[in-house]
């Protein structure tokens, strides 16, 4: 989790009239953890889904609402157009196609503010920018730049003085000899030309996403800043720039737009447009277990630094551009909880006239676990949401009727799994340093689209894998037969040769009982074994419990 250093003297300045002790007590109730206190500096840990917390300005902004110092949407406005432009060359389309920018004028920088901006920049790189792959940020001394600037490409022998350098180096030397070049150079691997930003005088601003130029270095003397974000994902660039814009505004700068001239198509950035969402009072109260009126909910949202207005039982909410984490009604319910005060909420036991008892399904699963552990297997637990890569491409499985998350914030949790075996292969890949043999099983849900293409069908399934130098079809079949016979009393089990892209052709079969086909079994393909970087053969089976138990 990322950490921000918050100096207590700055916190006092940001929240005049509010006792520091009260502000620190409120930190956990906006989703922040105090990692430690070093003298007059508090180390605050935050969740990456709140990139606006990547500086002490963002933390103070949230606290101001919770303590009632400032409520509603924070003050922010663009001070018009800067008259500055970035001209985009067609050659960048094959490398890093997007760029957005802003101008921040008439501000003052001190040592601590510069440290906060640098820390924010790196956190945005790692979070929104996915370690600079999706987006990377360059901050520059605007007064050292002659506009318009060009976003173009250069060959590997192009040279300039990199940040903190004293002499010119070629792009090739920067990628091989500098620390940032060695860390982020792989993002440009295979490129015939490299993205660069150059001003009208030939001064190099940056080699994105690797390093800035020394000529436009930011220091305490800078009063005007130029910020550019280059990206492979336009939304990531806009999201990062929105956080930077509101932070620089809070730091005392006037924010002006920059014209992005993409071969005649002109766009003013940053995008400061707010979003509208509405939520029902009943929904919020049901989620939180409260009994608030719509007007009270609107006041809670204002304390979470959103604008809100109650009309009847509906609350219309205005969300500032930098709040990229709010995408659904459930997010608004969370903001209500924060504004209401999580410290005010008390847990209650549900009223029930009956005592709890184990469900039949739980008993079935216990029997399966007992059988599988008796066979020397360890239970694995994996998320139902997984990556498209793990579920399909690494396994060589065709991407058919994929159930994907709309607007996912993580490529590791973008699709609902349709099979348990890929998750188990991923578990094996994370344990290649452990001793073999390795035997794992998992009981979990898989998700499928109904035959009519509409309704989503959930199925409980059990899968198992064995991995060691001699792992094969015979061993995994023996485990499968033991499970069906001991766990379910099934004796008539047949396996008929079949084809499945996850298994080796000729070493794969369908598992059938009197109820019909209930699963698959076989030896995992060399393709999947190589892709998951496994060192030994793997055999697996997967059984549909929904069919077996008529769930």
Strands 149-154 and 78-88: parallel
> Are the beta carbons of 240 and 164 closer than 8 angstroms?
no
* pTM score, whole prediction: 0.70
pLDDT at 65: 94
Helix axis angle for 329-340 and 56-66, nearest 10°, is: 70
Can you give the residue ranges of every domain in the chain? 3-66, 78-269, 275-341, 360-548
Cis peptide before 444 (omega within 30 of 0): no
Report angle CA 383, 505, 384 to the nearest 5 degrees.
5
The reply to whether domains 78-269 and 360-548 share a CATH topology is no
What tokens does 249 get? 């505004």
Q: What is the rounded distance in angstroms from the CA atom of residue 182 to the CA atom of residue 377? A: 42
> Are the beta carbons of 140 and 197 closer than 8 angstroms?
no
- Block means of pLDDT (10 residues each) for the chain, 551 residues, are 92 93 92 91 93 96 94 94 96 96 97 96 95 96 97 96 94 94 93 96 97 96 97 96 97 97 95 95 94 96 96 96 95 96 84 75 88 93 91 88 78 88 94 92 89 77 94 93 84 88 93 87 94 93 84 45
Does domain 360-548 sit in CATH 3.30.930.10? yes
What tokens does 416 get? 């609902």
Strands 159-160 and 32-38: unpaired
Helix (H) or strand (E) holding 424: helix 421-429
Q: What is the rounded distance in angstroms from the CA atom of residue 236 to the CA atom of residue 229? A: 9
Pick the CATH number of 3-66 from 3.30.56.10, 3.40.50.720, 3.40.605.10, 3.90.1520.10: 3.30.56.10
pLDDT at 551: 45
pLDDT at 491: 77
Query: What is the CATH code for 275-341?
Result: 3.30.56.10
Rounded to whole angstroms, the maximal C-alpha distance in the chain is: 83
DSSP code for 377: P
Domain 78-269 CATH class label: alpha beta
pLDDT at 550: 63
Instruction: For tokens 């344990």, name the residue.
Output: 431
Q: What is the rounded distance in angstroms from the CA atom of residue 398 to the CA atom of residue 112? A: 52
Q: What is the rounded distance in angstroms from the CA atom of residue 11 to the CA atom of residue 9? A: 5
């Amino acid at each position: 989790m990322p950490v921000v250093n918050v100096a207590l003297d700055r916190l006092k300045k940001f929240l005049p009239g509010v006792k520091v002790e009260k502000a620190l007590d409120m930190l956990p109730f906006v989703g922040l953890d105090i990692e430690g206190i070093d003298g007059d500096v508090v180390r605050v840990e935050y969740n990456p889904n709140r990139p606006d917390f990547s500086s002490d300005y963002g933390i103070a902004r949230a606290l101001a609402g919770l303590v009632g110092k400032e409520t509603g949407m924070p003050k922010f406005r663009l001070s018009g157009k800067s008259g500055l432009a970035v001209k985009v060359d067609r050659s960048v389309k094959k490398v890093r196609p997007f760029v957005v920018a802003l101008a921040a004028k008439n501000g003052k920088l001190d040592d601590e503010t510069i440290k906060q901006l640098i820390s924010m920049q790196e956190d945005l790189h790692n979070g929104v920018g996915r370690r600079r792959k999706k987006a990377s940020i360059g901050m520059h001394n605007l007064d050292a730049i002659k506009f318009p600037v060009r976003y173009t490409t250069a060959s590997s022998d192009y040279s300039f003085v990199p940040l903190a350098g004293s002499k010119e180096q070629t792009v090739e030397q920067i990628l091989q000899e500098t620390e940032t070049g060695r860390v982020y150079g792989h993002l440009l691997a295979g490129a015939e030309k490299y993205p660069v930003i150059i001003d009208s005088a030939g001064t190099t601003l940056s080699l994105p996403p690797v390093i800035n130029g020394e000529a436009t270095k930011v220091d305490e003397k800078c009063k005007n800043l130029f910020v550019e974000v280059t990206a492979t994902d336009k939304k990531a660039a806009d999201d990062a720039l929105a956080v930077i814009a509101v932070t620089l505004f809070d730091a005392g700068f006037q924010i002006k737009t920059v014209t992005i001239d993409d071969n005649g198509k002109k766009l003013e950035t940053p995008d400061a447009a707010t979003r509208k969402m509405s939520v029902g009072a009943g929904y919020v109260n049901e989620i939180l277990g409260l009994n608030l009126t719509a007007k009270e909910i609107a006041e809670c949202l204002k304390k979470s630094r959103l604008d809100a207005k109650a009309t009847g039982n509906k609350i219309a909410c205005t969300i500032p551009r930098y709040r990229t984490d709010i995408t659904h009604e459930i997010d608004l319910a969370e903001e209500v909880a924060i504004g209401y005060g999580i410290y005010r909420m008390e847990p209650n036991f549900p009223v029930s006239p009956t005592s709890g008892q184990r469900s039949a399904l739980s008993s079935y699963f216990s029997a399966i676990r007992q059988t599988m552990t008796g066979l020397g297997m360890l239970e694995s637990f994996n998320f139902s949401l997984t990556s498209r890569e793990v579920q399909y491409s690494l396994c060589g499985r065709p991407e058919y009727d994929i159930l994907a998350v709309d607007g996912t914030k993580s490529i590791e949790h973008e699709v609902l799994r349709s099979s348990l075996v890929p998750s188990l292969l991923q578990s094996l890949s994370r344990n290649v340093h452990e001793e073999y043999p390795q035997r794992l099983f998992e009981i979990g849900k898989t998700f499928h689209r109904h035959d009519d293409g509409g309704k989503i069908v959930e199925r409980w399934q059990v899968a198992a894998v064995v991995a060691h130098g001699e792992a094969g079809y015979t061993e995994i079949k023996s485990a499968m037969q033991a499970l069906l016979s001991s766990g379910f009393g099934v004796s008539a089990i047949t396996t008929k040769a079949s084809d499945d892209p996850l298994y080796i052709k000729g070493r794969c079969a369908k598992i059938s009982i009197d109820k019909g086909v209930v699963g698959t079994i076989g030896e995992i393909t060399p393709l999947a074994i190589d892709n998951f970087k496994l060192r030994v053969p793997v055999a697996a089976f997967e059984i549909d419990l929904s069919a077996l138990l008529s769930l």
